[in-house]
Amino acid sequence: MVIVHNYALAVVLCFVIMLCWGSWGNTQKAAAKSWRYELFYWDYVIGMVIFALILALTLGTFGSEGRNFFQDISQASWSSILWIVLGGFIFNASNILLSASTSIAGMSVAFPLGCGLALVLGVVNNLRVEMAQGALKSNIALLAVGVALVVAAVIVNGIASGKKEGVSETSKADQRKGVVLALIAGVVMSFFSSFVMRAMDLKDFANMEPGKVGPYTAIVLFSLAVLVSHFVFGPIIMKKPFVGEPVAMSSYFKGDAKTHIVGMCGGAIWCLGTALSYIAAGRAGASVSYALGQGAPMIAAIWGVFIWKEFKGAKKSVYALLAIMFCLFVAGLSLIVAAGN
| pLDDT band, very low/low/confident/very high, at 276 (cuts 50, 70, 90) | very high
Instruction: Tell how many helices (H) and how many strands (E) occur in the chain.
Output: 14, 0
Check if the beta carbon of residue 264 is closer than 8 Å to that of residue 50. yes
What does the buried/exposed string (b/e) look like for 42-57 if buried means 16 or more CB atoms within 10 Å of the residue's CB? bbbbbbbbebbbebbe
Distance CA 56, CA 223 (A): 12
pLDDT of res. 269:
95
d(CA 140, CA 147): 10
d(CA 221, CA 205): 17
Model confidence band, residue 169 (pLDDT cutoffs 50, 70, 90): very low
Alpha carbons within 13 angstroms on the beta-carbon side of residue 159 total: 15
User: pLDDT value at position 170?
Assistant: 43
Give SS3 for 190.
Answer: coil
Residues in a beta bridge with 213: 200
Q: Which residue has the higher pLDDT, 306 or 76?
A: 76
State the average pLDDT for the chain: 87
Give 68's pLDDT tier (boundaries 50, 70, 90): very high
Counting Cα atoms < 13 Å in the Cβ hemisphere of 174 gives 15
pLDDT of residue 184: 92
pLDDT confidence bin for 162, thresholds 50/70/90: low
- State residue 108's pLDDT score: 64
